[in-house]
Structure 1
Amino acid sequence: MPSTERDPLVPSANNDHSQPSKPTAVGPLEISRSIRYAILAGLWSATFLSVLIPSISSEFQKSNEASWLGTSYLLAVCTFTPLYGRLCDVLGRRGASQLAVIASALGTIGCGFAGNMEMLVVARFVAGMGGGGVFTTSSIITSDMYSMRSRGLAQGVSNLFSGLGLGLGGPLGGLISDFLGWRWAFIIQIPIFVLALTLITHNLRYMMPGAGENTKEVFKRIDWAGSLALLIAIGSFLLFLSMKFNEGLRWTNLLVITSLTLAVVFIAAFILIEVLVSPEPVLTPVLLRQKVPLLVGMSNFFVAVCTFSITYFFPMWFQTVALTSASEAGLHLLPNSIAMSSGSLFAGYMIHWTGKYKMINLIFGLFPFMGSLLITSIHENSGFFQSWLSIAPLGFGNAVVLQTMLVALLAHLPGDLIATGTGFAQVFRGLGDTVFDITISRPRILRQIVFPGQVSGVAVSSAIFQSKLDAELRKQINGPDAAEIIHNIRRSATLVSQLPPDLQRAARDSYTVALRYVFVFAACSTLLAYIVRLPVPDKFLGYDPREGQGKHQDRVSGPPHASTH
C-alpha cells in the first residue's frame, strides 16, 4: 500500500510486523542515573550484611569446634573469590552477582536453622562461597559503571557501607543474640538479602562482552579443575595448621603428614593447571608477570597481616592487661571501623578531585605505621587518646592504601582484565585472613610455629605471641602447679581477671610483653607494605572536574566497554 501524508515518517514497532523489534543493548556507562543508583543500592545492601556469631559453640556443647565456624567461611571466601572474576565474564555481571547473593542467603538461612555444629560449619562454608563474591562483584560492577576517575569515589561510598556493616554487625548481632537467641542473628538478615537480590535482578541489565551464549558454553568456560585444586590445597593446608599447631600432634602423625603432602601436591597442581591447561584460568598467570598487579597483591597481603594482627590482639590487651570486660574491649575497635569508612571515602574523593593516587598513597600510607607505633607504646596508665584513638590512624591509612591500590591496579589493566584483576587483588587479602584465622583462633594450644622454607607472616604473628607469652609466664610463675596454671592462663584470656593478685600481676605483665612483640611485628609488616608499593607508578585518570566538563567526560574516560554481546 502506498504511503499517505498521515503515515509517520518512521514506522513504529506496532505498525511494522515484518521484523520483530529488539531491545537496544546498553553499556554500563550509558545506563540512567536512577538505574545506576538502584544497582548500587542492591550491591551495598548485600555488602552491609555482617554478623557476629556469639555463643553458638556453647549452644551445641562443642566449643572445641568453634574455630571452624570462622575458618570454614574464610576457606570458602579465599577459594571462590578469584573465581568470581571469571564468572563475571562468563555468566555476565548480573548472573555472577545473583549467584553470590543467593549463595550468601542460602548459607545464612542454613546457619539460622542448623541443628548441630556440623550443619552450621557447612552452612558457613556455603555463605562464604557467596560472601567473597558479593564484595568482588560489587567492585567489578562499580568499575563498569564509572570512569576510572569517578570509580574511586563510588568505591569509597561502597566501602563506607561495608565498614558500617563491619562495625555495627558485632554489636547488633550480640544484642539480637541476647534478646532473641543467636539463630535470629542470621534469620533477621534474610529480608535484606531478598531486597538486594530484587534490586540486582530488576536493574542490573547492561551488556558486557564475553558472556556465554548458553548454559553449556558457560559451564565449559569455568575453570573447574583450577578451582577444585585451589580448594583442596587451601583446605589441606588449614587442616595441617590445625592438627600440627592447634592440636599439637607430632610431625610423624599420619594426619599431619597427609594434610601437608596434599597441600603441596595440589598447590603445584593448581599452578600447572592455571599455566598449562585451563583456557580461561581462574587466576590469570599474565597478572603475576606484570609489575603493578604483583606489587599490589604483595602490598594487600602485608596490609592484611598488619590489620588482622592488630584487630585480633588489640582488644585482648584491654581484656588481659587493662582488665576490662570483653564487650568493652571489643568497643576499642569501633574507632578503627569509623576510620576505615572515613579513609575510604576520603581516598575516593581525593582521587576524583585530583585524578592522581600516588601522592595520596605516599602521605597517608604512613598512617598505619604511625598507628602501630602508638599501639606498641600503650601501657596501663595510657590516657583516653592512646587507649581509644591510637588505632584510628591504622584504619584510616589502610583504607586509603587499599582504595588507591585498587585504582592503581585497574588503571594499569586493559578493559578485558578488569574483572579478573579485581578478583586477583581480593585473593591476597583473603589468604591473609584465612591463614590468620586458623592459626590464632584457638591460641590456647598453639605452640611456636616453624615452617620449612618461607614462613607465613600471619603465622609468625601468632607464634610470636604464644612463644613470648609462654616464656614470660614460665619466668614469673613457679611452684608445683605452675604448668597447669600457665596452661589455663594461655587457654582463656578471661581467666586473668579472676586470678589471685600475685598470679594476676604475673599474667598481666606477661601479656603486656607478648602483645608488644606482636604490635612491633605488625608495625614492621605495614612498613614493608609501604616499601613494596613504592615502585607502583602514578597515572593520570582523566578529566579534571574543575574544568567544568565532568558529566560528559565521566562517561567517556573509563575503560572501553562493548555495549553488545
Structure 2
Amino acid sequence: MPAASENTPLLSDANPGSDDNTNLQRPLGPLDISKTARYCILLGVWTATFLSVMTLVPTMLPSISSEFHKSHQASWLGTAYLLATCTFTPLYGRLSDVMGRRAAAQTAVFFAGFGTIACGLSTNMELLIASRFIAGIGGGGVSTIAAIVVSDMYSLRARGLAQSVASVFNGLGFGVGGPLGGLVTDWFGWRWAFLLQTPLFIISLLLISWNLNYVTPGKGKSTIEVLKRIDYLGIVSLLISTGSILVFLSTRYNEGLPWSDISVIIPLTLSLVSFVLFVIAEIFVSKEPILAPFLLKQKVPVLVGISNFLVSSCNFAMSYYFPMWFQTVLLTSAAIAGLHSLPSSAAMPIGSIFAGWYMHRTGRYKKINLIFGILPFVAGVLIAQIREDSGPIQSWFSITPIGFGNAIVLQTTLVALLAHIPENHMAVATGFARLFGSIGQVAGVAVSSALFQSLLDTELRKRIKGPDSEEIIRRIRQNARLVETLPADQQRIARDSYDVSLKAVFWFAAFSTLLAYVVRLPIPEKDLDRPKKADNGSPNDEQNGDSQIAPDQTSSAAEARTNDIRK
C-alpha cells in the first residue's frame, strides 16, 4: 500500500484492516479539527477568560467591609488574586506540554470557578481572601491556555487576528465588571456577584472537555510523572518573594512604619532571600523550571518580557488610581468615577482587533508597534495634567489611548515573541511572557500604592497641624470616601493632597510605558509567513502533548487543511 501523501483522500474505501484505514484512525492534530470544534474550544476558553478578568471586587469592597468589619484587610482581596496569578501563570505553559492542552485548561477553569464559588460562600474575611487566591491560581492559567490554543490552531500570521477577538472578551470583562458588580451587589448582595458566575464556568468547562481533543507532537507522561516534574521549589520561592515584597511595601509605606521596625525588616529580608532561592532553583535545580532560563539567553523574549512588565505596571496603576482622582478630588460618586475608565476598556478590544487585522493583512508587526506604541505615554502625560476645571474631553477621553495603544503593543509583542522561537517552545514562551506581565500587575498596584500613600502622608502633614492632626491624617489616608464628609477647610486640604499624590502615580505610569516603548525598539521585524521548524535540541524535553503522537503523524492531513484554517 503506498504511503499517505497530501493527495491521499481523507475518506477512503479501504478495508478495516488496511494501512490506510489505520492511518485514518489516528488522533487529530490542531490543524485537523473542524471549524465547529475550533470555535467551541475558543468560546470555552474565552468565556473563562471573561469571567477571570471581570473587576468586580473594587465596587463590592464597601459592602464586604461593612459585613465583616475588617476594612483594613480589604485591599488583600485584590492583592491575593494578583499574587496567585503572578505565581502560577507561567506554570500552565509547562502543564500544557506535559499534561496536554485539555487537562491544563480543565485545571485552570476548575480553580478559577471553585475559587469564585468559594468567595460567594465565604463566612469571614480570611476565608474570602483565601478563596480569591484560589481563583487567581486558575485565572492566570485561563489566559495563558487561551493564548496557547490559539497558537496551536492558527498560523503565525493569523494568530494576531484570533488573539484580537480574545481581547474583546478581556475588554468586556474589564469594562462591565465594575458596573455589573455594583448592580448585583445593590440588588441581591455581594455574594451573588460571585455565585451567578457558576453556570458560565460550568459551560466553559463542558465546552473544553467535549471539544479540546486534538493532540500535539511529543510523548505523553503519566500523572505521577507530571506531578513529579512540577517546579514546586520555583513556585513556592516566587510566591514567598512576591508576597513578602507586598507586605514590605504595605508596612513601610501604607502604614508608615520606620525602617527599623521588625515588621519592615523581616518581609524585606525574606523577599530578597526567596528571590535568590528562586533564581537558584530555576537555573540549577528544577527539571522543568517555570521561568525557562534558556529564554533569558535570547534577546527577543527578554525584551518582550520587560515590555510586558512595564505595560502591565502602567495599566494596573491607572486602572486602580485614575477613578480615585474623580472620587477624591472632584468628589464624584463611585459609579461615575468608575465610568471614567470605560473609554479605555472600550478602546482595548478595538486596538487589539486593529492590530490583528493589520498583522493578518501585511504579515508585519513592528511598524504598527512603533506608531501606536507611543500613545499610552501621551495619554499618561495628559492625565497627569488633568485639573478640576478640565473639560469633558480631557476628563473622559484622555485615558482612551492607554487602552488602544497598549492593546496593540501586547498583541504585536506576543506575535513577535512567537515568531522568534521554535514551535515546540511556544507554550513555554507564552507562559514566560505572561509571567512578566503578571509580575508587572502586582508591581503596578504595589509600587503605585506605596508611592501614593507616602506622598499623601507627606502632603497632609504639610497642611494639617494641631493636637488632633495625627488622627485626622490617619482617617483621611485610610478612607477615601471620608473626604466628601469633611468640613470645608479640611476637605480642601484633603482634595489638594490627594491631587498631588495621585498625579505622582500618573507620572509613574506614564514613564513606565515610555520606558517600555524604548525597550521594544531593538525587537526586529520578521516575516510572519515564513515557516518555522521545531527545535529538536530542547533543553528541557518540552515536546509533550495530550494523547501525544509523533510529529510526522499529523503532517499530511494538517498540510491538506492548513490553507482553509489560516483564512
Aligned pairs (5 A) from 1:7-22: 10=13, 12-13=15-16
Please list, as runs of the form range in 1=range in 2, the aligned pairs for 1:94-493 lying within 5 A after superposition: 94-210=102-218, 212-437=220-445, 439=446, 459=447, 461-493=448-480
Distance (Å, rounded) in 1 between the aligned partners of 2:460 and 2:263: 31
- Structure 1 counterpart of 2:486: 499
Moved more, 196-205 or 512-521: 512-521
Contact 1:114 1:120 in 2 (8 A): yes
Q: In the TM superposition, what is the alpha-carbon distance from 1:513 to its structure 2 partner?
A: 2.3
Q: Distance in 1 between matches of 2:228 and 2:524?
A: 37
Structure 1: how far apart are the matches of 2:64 and 2:450? 27
Amino acid corresponding to residue 27 of structure 2 in structure 1: A
Q: Which residue of 2 aligns with 1:540?
A: 527
> Whole-Å Cα distance in 2 between the matches of residues 507 and 484 of structure 1?
14
Paired residue type of 1:311: S
Residue 31 of structure 2 aligns to a residue whose secondary structure is coil
Q: Within 2, Cα distance between the matches of 1:244 and 1:306?
A: 22
Give structure 2 stretches of 5+ with no counterpart. 1-11, 531-558
CA displacement 1:240-280 (0-9 Å, x = unmatched):
33343334444444444333333222221221121112222
Of residues 17, 25, 28, the one that matches 1:26 is: 28
Equivalence for 2:504: 517
1:10 Cα deviation after fit: 4.8
Q: Deviations over 1:55-86 (max 9, x none)?
A: 22321121121122111111111110010000
Distance 2:23 2:159 in 1: 34
One-letter amino acid of the structure 1 residue matched with residue 524 of structure 2 = P
**Which of these residues, 59, 68, 80, is aligned with residue 76 of structure 2?**
68
Secondary structure of 1:209 counterpart: coil
Deviation at 1:216, TM superposition (A): 2.0
Matched-pair identity in %: 57
- Retained in 2: the 8 A contact 1:149–1:554? no
1:190-241 deviation per Cα after TM superposition (whole angstroms, max 9, x unaligned): 1001100000000001101235332222223322222222222223333333
Give me the TM-score of the superposition, normalised by structure 1: 0.87
Q: CA shift at 1:503, angstroms? A: 2.2
CA contact (8 A) 2:418 2:426 kept: yes
- Which AA in structure 2 matches 1:435? A
User: Which range moves more in the overlay, 170-179 or 232-241?
Assistant: 232-241
Question: How far 1:436 sits from its partner (Å)?
Answer: 3.6
Is the Cα contact below 8 Å between 1:146 and 1:555 reproduced in 2?
no
CA contact (8 A) 2:90 2:428 kept: yes
RMSD across aligned positions (CA) = 2.4
Residues 259, 380 of structure 1: alpha-carbon distance in 2 compared, 3 angstrom cutoff: closer
Q: Which moved more, 1:494-503 or 1:277-286?
A: 494-503
SS in 1 for 2:332: coil
Identify the match of residue 45 of structure 1 among 22, 44, 47: 47
Cα shift at 1:502: 2.2
User: 489-498 vs 344-353, which deviates more?
Assistant: 489-498
Which letter maps to 1:395?
G
How far off is 1:369 after superposition?
Answer: 1.1
- Whole-angstrom distance in 2 between the partners of 1:244 and 1:60: 26
Which whole-Å CA distance do the structure 2 matches of 1:133 and 1:377 have between them? Answer: 37
Contact residue 147 and residue 555 of structure 1 kept, 8 A: no
Query: For 1:366-388, what per-residue CA distance to the aligned partner results, in whole angstroms no more than 9, with x for missing partners?
Result: 11011112112211111111111
Q: Tell me the alpha carbon deviations over residues 289-340 of structure 1, each in whole angstroms, 9 at most, x when there is no partner.
A: 1100111111111112222222222111111221111111111001110011
Superimposed CA distance per residue, residues 488-525 of structure 1 (whole angstroms, 9 cap, x where no aligned partner):
22222222222222222222222222222222222222
Count of residue pairs the alignment pairs up = 521
* One-letter amino acid of the structure 2 residue matched with residue 230 of structure 1: L
Aligned to 1:542, the other structure's residue is in SS state: coil
- The Cα shift of 1:553 comes to 5.8
Distance 1:433 1:28 in 2: 32
Change (3 A) 1:501 1:203: same
- Matched AA of 1:504: Q
Would you say the 8 A contact 1:316–1:329 is kept in 2? yes
- With 504-513 and 274-283 compared, the bigger mean Cα shift is at 504-513
DSSP 3-state at the match of 1:510: helix
Q: Is the 8 A contact 1:542 1:557 kept in 2?
A: no
TM-score of the superposed pair, with normalisation by structure 2: 0.87
Select 2:86's aligned residue among 55, 65, 78. 78
Quote the residue 1:452 is aligned against.
none
- C-alpha distance in structure 2 between counterparts of 1:211 and 1:47, whole Å: 29
Give unpaired runs (5+ residues) of structure 1.
Answer: 1-8, 440-458, 544-549, 559-565
- Inter-partner Cα distance in structure 2 for 1:196 and 1:35: 13
How far apart are the structure 2 equivalents of 1:528 and 1:178? Answer: 41
Q: Note if contact 2:115-2:135 (Cα within 8 Å) is conserved in structure 1.
A: yes
